[in-house]
Copies of this chain bind each other. A is one copy, B any other.
């Protein structure tokens, strides 16, 4: 559950929020029953977009960043959730090996420090191991607050991974493994490797995730007797495109065109004045220039600037996905904002707003120049929101955000079950 009566946001609520709040006991029970059948990812962050007329997840990260944006008040919740997760996975755990991403931004280092803090407070000895095979001796990471963390070379034995004089029961990955799983992480059958290797972006596909999300959202919408579109970004086709090869682009164009048609009908059905648009995303989670590409007309796919953007940096081929664009109508001061919900095990432990003053509501905010505002429990942000229906009672938007984020997390659980290579080998 989400700590919703004491969270930040006030303002008018829309029908969806009222429905979710009214159905809270049924929703929480539904999640409990789902978690009896499906294992939640170890930790997750979900980017949401609140368009006023709908609320949908647009990205589900299984190697989350940004835990440094959780407020101090939220920390006990994260620690408690971490304790529950550890107890379930490996109650006798003493040592946790955390493998960070190869990122040295001060944001990332602050996040790393927060992860170390959470798992230390949960009662584990936490040390950091580097995936960099050239690292021969411990290296100091200087943190923004002036303290240090030590990044140590990994020591691989036949069946176990550790550090010098450090044999962990659990290895926690915070690298997205975009290039695939390195050999040093393979064949670790004696230790818990979390998340599993097939959660890495070398294997994951957004198209597969949103297929699971549609399944989850349909079940959930049936429980509540509502249209799943109100919580689902409609997903079109995906295709491999190559520079100068029109074939893949034609498939994307046809898909974008069909999707825009469906969206126009949906907007008409709900009386939504906004013109629908679609976005083009890298199916494998990689960046596309400054984020996703917004298309209001399928014909825009032929634009040379778009092609140049996709293949900038020398990429020979890209796997691209067409998806409904969900605008965000939340703002902090004058900057466009979108909520990011952080979870450990099945628990929402907090969230924050990603804010970008230089972006429009229909653009990606995960881009250089973005800033972060904690979604604190006991504070009041008073964010105005377009599209909210009048006449509703005192809100809690963060409960709604937590519900939708947990649906995306559940979809990731479905996705990881479906893509588990070990599970397939038993069939």
A residues sitting closer than 8 Å to B (CB atoms) are 1-6, 24-25, 27-29, 31-33, 35-36, 72-77, 79-81, 83-84, 86-87, 91-94, 117, 120-125, 347, 377-378
Contact = CB atoms under 8 A, between A and B. Distances in A.
Nearest to A126: B25
B4 A121 contact: yes
A347 B3 CA distance: 16
Question: Among the interface residues A77, A117, A122, which one has the most CB atoms of the partner chain B within 10 A?
Answer: A77
B86 A123 contact: no
Contact of A117 (B5, B32, B77, B84): B5
A122 B377 contact: no
A381 to B, nearest CB: 16
Contacts of A79: 1, 3
Given A80-B347, A81-B80, A123 B27 contact: yes
B1 A83 contact: yes
Given A73-B73, A75-B6, A28 B92 contact: no
Interface centre among A5, A24, A28 (most CB of B within 10 A): A28
Given A83-B28, A92-B33, A117-B5, A77 B77 contact: yes
Contacts of A5: 75, 117, 121
Contacts of A24: 120-121, 123
Nearest to A94: B29
Instruction: From A72, A81, A86, A121, name the one whose CB has the most chain B CB atoms within 10 angstroms.
Output: A121
- Copies of chain A in the complex: 2
A402 to B, nearest CB: 11
B32 A94 contact: no
Given A25-B94, A123-B25, A77 B75 contact: no
A25 B123 CA distance: 4
Contacts of A347: 80, 83
Contacts of A28: 83, 122-124
B73 A125 contact: no
A33 to B, nearest CB: 6
List the 4 shortest-distance A-B pairs measured between CB atoms, nearest first: A28-B123, A3-B76, A32-B91, A6-B72
Nearest to A87: B32
A404 to B, nearest CB: 16
A127 to B, nearest CB: 12
Contacts of A2: 76
A29 B87 CA distance: 9
A296 to B, nearest CB: 41
A16 to B, nearest CB: 18
Nearest to A32: B91
Nearest to A31: B123
Contacts of A94: 25, 29
Contact of A25 (B25, B36, B124): B124
A5 to B, nearest CB: 7
19 contacts: A1-B80, A1-B122, A2-B76, A3-B80, A6-B76, A24-B123, A25-B124, A25-B125, A28-B122, A28-B123, A29-B92, A29-B123, A32-B86, A32-B92, A32-B123, A33-B92, A73-B73, A73-B377, A77-B77
